[in-house]
Amino acid sequence: MKDSSLKTEIASLKLENPHILASGILDENGYTMKKILEEGAAAVVTKSIGMDERNGYQAPVIADAPAGLINAIGLANPGIESFGDEIAIAKGSNRPVIGSIFASTVEEFANLAIRMQKYRVDAIELNLSCPHVKGFGSEVGSDPDLVEQIVNELKLKVPVPIFAKLTPNVTNILDIAKAAHKADALVLINTVRAIRIDIHARMPVLSNIYGGLSGPAIKPIGLRAVYDVYRETGFNIIGVGGIETHEDAVEYIMAGARAVQIGTALMTKGRKIFGELNSNLLQFMEREGYSSIDDMVGIGVVK
Ligand SMILES: Cc1cc2nc3c(=O)[nH]c(=O)nc-3n(C[C@H](O)[C@H](O)[C@H](O)COP(=O)(O)O)c2cc1C
C-alpha cells in the first residue's frame, strides 16, 4: 500500500496524512514546528497568538492527573507583531502551517486574522475554547451569537480556510457548532475545565485554580463531541483530545473526523510519534482493507 492512501482534505487544505500538531505544544518556535513537520506531521497549528505579548500565569501552571494533565498556561505568547519570523521558518518545510489566534471581540479577531494571513499561513484556527483565561477562549466560544458573528466576519475578511476550535465546557456543543456553520471546519475539542487540590497545602495546585484537562482522560469526551456534531451536521471536523496511538486516531475518524490533532502525547511520547502514527495507520488500513482515509470517515456513526 502506498503512503498516498493517507492523504486527506479539509476544505481546500490538502494534507499528506491525517495527523496534525495541536495548538500549544512545541509550536511557539519556527524550528520546533519545522522539525515536527519533518518527523511526519501533515501540518502544524501554532500556539494561539493574540494582539500583544502575554507572559501567562505564575507557576505552577501544570498539574498531573490520572491519564492526562491539567494546564493553565494563561495564553502566554509573543504577540502577533513578532510571530511572522517563526511562521516563515516553519513554512520552510513546505507543509501547511495553521495560525491559531485568540481575541475577545469580532474586530480584534478580524484584525489578527488579517495580520496572520499576511504571514502566509495556510489556514486560520480560531481559539474559541481556552477554558482558563477571563474574557477569552471559552467565554467567547460559549456564546452562539458571538461565535456566529466572529466566523461570518472572518469568512468575509480573509480568503484562507477558517477553522473554529470549540469548547466541550458548554451544555450543548451542537448549538455552538451550528452557530459556526460558515467555518470551513470545526476543531473538536479543546481541554476540559478542571482543578486539583494540594491536600497538604490545603489549596488548589494551579496558581490560576482552574486549568484544562488534556490527554487520554478526555478521549471519550472528544469522541462524543465529534460523533454528535458529525451525525447531526456532516460538517468537516478535525478531532482532538487524548490521541496517542493509530487506534485512537481511527476512532476519531470513524466518529466523523477528516483529520486529527495530537497535543499532550508529544510531551509523554516525544515527537517521533508522528512517524509511528503514519506507519501504524497505513498497516491498519492495509490489514482492514481501506484504500483511503475517506473510506473510514464517519463509518462508526449509527444513522
Ligand atoms: C500545555 C498545553 C497548552 C495548550 N495551549 C493551547 C493554545 O494555545 N490554544 C489552543 O487552542 N489549545 C491549546 N491547548 C489545547 C490543545 O491544543 C488540545 O486541544 C488539547 O490539549 C486536547 O488534545 P490532547 O489531549 O492531544 O492534548 C493546549 C494544551 C496543552 C496541554
User: Residue 81 Cα, ligand 1 centroid: separation in angstroms?
Assistant: 22
Looking from the CA of residue 62, the nearest atom of ligand 1 is 1
295 within some domain = no
pTM recorded for the entire structure = 0.98
Q: Strand, helix or coil at 139? A: helix
Retrieve residue 283's grid coordinates: 498497516
34 within some domain = yes
174 within some domain = yes
12 within some domain = yes
- Alpha carbon distances (Å) from 287 to 1, 259, 281, 292: 10, 20, 10, 13
Q: Where are the beta strands (DSSP E) in the chain?
A: 8-10, 13-15, 19-21, 43-45, 62-65, 68-71, 97-101, 123-127, 162-166, 185-188, 192-194, 197-198, 203-204, 211-214, 237-240, 259-262
- Kindly state if the Cβ of 192 falls inside 6 Å of ligand 1: no
Q: Please report, for the domain that includes residue 119, its CATH number.
A: 3.20.20.70
User: DSSP string of 154-197?
Assistant: HHHH--S-EEEEEPS-SS-HHHHHHHTTTSSEEEE--PEEE--E
42 within some domain = yes
- Kindly state if the Cβ of 54 falls inside 6 Å of ligand 1: no
Retrieve residue 291's grid coordinates: 484504500
If you take atom 28 of ligand 1, which residue's CA is the nearest one? Answer: 24
User: Residue 1 Cα, ligand 1 centroid: separation in angstroms?
Assistant: 33
Range(s) of the domain holding residue 159: 3-53+75-191+215-288
Spatial contact of 5 and 292, defined as CB atoms under 8 Å apart: yes
Spatial contact of 243 and 252, defined as CB atoms under 8 Å apart: yes
ω into 216 cis (within 30 of 0): no
- Kindly state if the Cβ of 222 falls inside 6 Å of ligand 1: no
Burial class (CB in 10 A: 0-12, 13-18, 19+), 260: buried
- Kindly state if the Cβ of 190 falls inside 6 Å of ligand 1: yes
**Ligand 1 pocket: which of 26, 55, 191 to mutate (most atoms within 8 A of CB):** 191
210 within some domain = no
pLDDT digits (tens, 9 = 90+) for 106-157: 999 999 999 999 999 999 999 999 888 888 888 899 999 999 999 999 999 9
If you take atom 2 of ligand 1, which residue's CA is the nearest one? Answer: 24
pLDDT of residue 44: 98
- Kindly state if the Cβ of 241 falls inside 6 Å of ligand 1: yes
If you take atom 14 of ligand 1, which residue's CA is the nearest one? Answer: 24
ω into 189 cis (within 30 of 0): yes
130 in catalytic set = yes
Counting as low any pLDDT under 70, the low residues of the chain are none
Spatial contact of 242 and 264, defined as CB atoms under 8 Å apart: yes
CA–CA distance, 73 with 274 (Å, rounded to integer): 24
- Kindly state if the Cβ of 48 falls inside 6 Å of ligand 1: yes
**Which entry of 10, 36, 41, 130 is annotated as an active-site residue?**
130
302 within some domain = no
Burial class (CB in 10 A: 0-12, 13-18, 19+), 23: buried
124 within some domain = yes
**Total structural domains in the chain?**
1
- Kindly state if the Cβ of 211 falls inside 6 Å of ligand 1: no
pLDDT of residue 131: 87
